[in-house]
Structure 1
Amino acid sequence: MIQPFVYTAQPARVIFGDGTLARVPEEIARLGLRRVLTVSTPPQAGKAAALAARFPDRSAGVLAEAVMHTPVAVTEAAMRVVAERGADGLLALGGGSAIGLSKAIALRTGLPQIAVPTTYAGSEMTPVVGETRDGAKTTRSDPRILPTVVIYDVDLTMSLPPALSGTSGINAIAHAVEALYARDGNPVIALLALEAIGALHRALPRIVADPADRAARTEALYGAWLCGLCLGSVGMALHHKLCHTLGGRFGLPHAETHTAVLPHALAYNAPAIPDVMARLNAALGTGDAPLALYELAGRVGAERSLRALGMPGEEGEEEAGEATGDVIGGTVAAVLANPYWNPRPLEAPALRDLLSRAYRGLPPASS
């Protein structure tokens, strides 16, 4: 039975293919921009400079200061650069960090953005930005945050290391999984989510086996686009709340944290979403979707333990002034203090067990 729903299409222009980076100057001209600031992370500074050199008469230079979790202090410094250079548009080259900084600037200025993703994160398709201040990560949604144009170039992903390809891709899968049971979900997004999950589930092991497999790279980027579209169209639930809390509190790596948490968050919600689980099992070709996602992480060589990713231990240590004797309990308390909507009620003991298993890298608890 189809339930009543509301579907709002996102207005971004998407260009997908091989060699599409060459269309950046054309898109800048089409938007009428004259002073475009290219945003990247420090390691991508050289590539950002080479991209800006393609439109020298319309470039405001490069800002290669983006970092993980979009700290507000970095955004405030970037705002001064935007003003000093008279930028009238933004061009983000990279993954979630570069695109996140561009989006944070756009939120404050209303400047149009062109996003050129080089990973499978999917942030480029969402009107959402997550910002960190004083160890807390909060998300904001606004139409100004959504990039105006997104250019997907398979060529840019061919050098993405297999390990990063795996975690970036599973991070994208997490967006689609939660879209299947979002409070404001709808049939269109559900179809896109299942298509996206299937594409990435097929492609990621092939990329690890042969990083030069262009067909697999293309399928993964296609899946990532759909996952980002899902995330940009409906709300988030427990999985994203957990990852935002862990990232903000402990500075854990973004994609890797999503990879470690996803099987456990899905297992937690499974009893409350039997219809979704049936469709997800079919898309993954399994009878146990949480375990299949845990095993996918293993197949792509991802770390499945939050402890190995840098989450403080459960006894005897101190991290940033916080006694870690009950780090998991403190994390649960932070989640419960400002929860996202979730199909299953949030219960502290069950959440402690979820995080304890993820901390140790154990398989997800059976539903």
Structure 2
Amino acid sequence: MNKEKCKTNRQIRHYNSIDGLRALSCLGIIVMHIEANTKYQLGGSAVFDQFIPSFTWLVYLFLMISGFGMCAGYLDKFHNNVIDMEAFYKKRYMKILPFFGLLLVVAFVMEHSVSSVYEISIEILLLHGLLPNNAVSVIGVCWTLGVIFLFYLLFPAFSVLMKSKKRAWISLVISLWIVFVCNQYFFSDYFVTESFTPRHNFLYCLPMFIGGGLVYLYREEIKTICEKYRGIFLVGCMAASIFWYKIPEDSKSLFYIGTLMLYCLWLSYAIGSNSKFLSSKPMKFLSSISMEMYLAQMIIFRIVEKMHLLYVFGDKGISGWISFLVAFVLTVLGLICFIECYKLILRFLKKGKE
């Protein structure tokens, strides 16, 4: 298999509806962070008290989509030994580092403390996922990037786990056992700090990457079933989502497995649905900048906050909801403008070098 054939296969493997799934996940996480960092008095409704805060778990869907996407783009190349390892790692760094580096500079200007210097010196290497406590405060949401980039670094080993469906299932079972052991033993006061968060740990997130890999390995079977029973599949996903809210979060392992199964269902639906909404141009555009939006969201939100635009219509009742919606729209539009300006400047600089 030559490189041209690999390139063609990679293009064939793109599933448009997954773009929408990634975009909606990103928007959901932005909504959740706005709710968590504001003082809207909208309590008493299930939407504000339970539904919006639950969007925090969409980060697991991000990880699962990353697992699927990496398998779609590189699994065959690794299995057929046609991968340029240096080019593989260089592409990973060059895709993330310029924009992330800009955010770190902006964050340093805003904070300029000794602790930020220490944190940035590790984050700029994209190795903060290896820290004993991946709870950095500079670009706090970048813990996800630390976990995902560690997955990139370990993908050659991950591809071995995905060599066959049987091996992938065994890997999933072992990884879930690791999660259980972590919950029961290793994430105790003896081993971790007070500020430790389980999902900031790569081992704790590993089943989500494997879940994405498993969905990829069964992609043809899933696509066939979903295309034939699309309506039933969608109803099943929605029913599973409702049931998921009944799982108590304090049942950590059960909640984790339920989340894994739920997102596997939605990812499977995206593969076979060919949804016009999920594969629309707006969804595709937002998906293409979803990582940048995720990383920069709090910086733009703080700008909206400093401009006193969070509570323009009030903070209670219908007026509060309108203010909340306005804050969300302004944050998203600000993110799009910021990212597009960055890309425009980048293109200008590249053109100047030529």
Same-fold call, TM cutoff 0.5:
no
* Structure with bigger RCO (C-alpha 8 Å, 6+ apart): 2
Decide which structure has greater helix share.
2
TM range (shorter): under 0.3
Greater gyration radius: 2
Decide which structure has greater strand share.
1
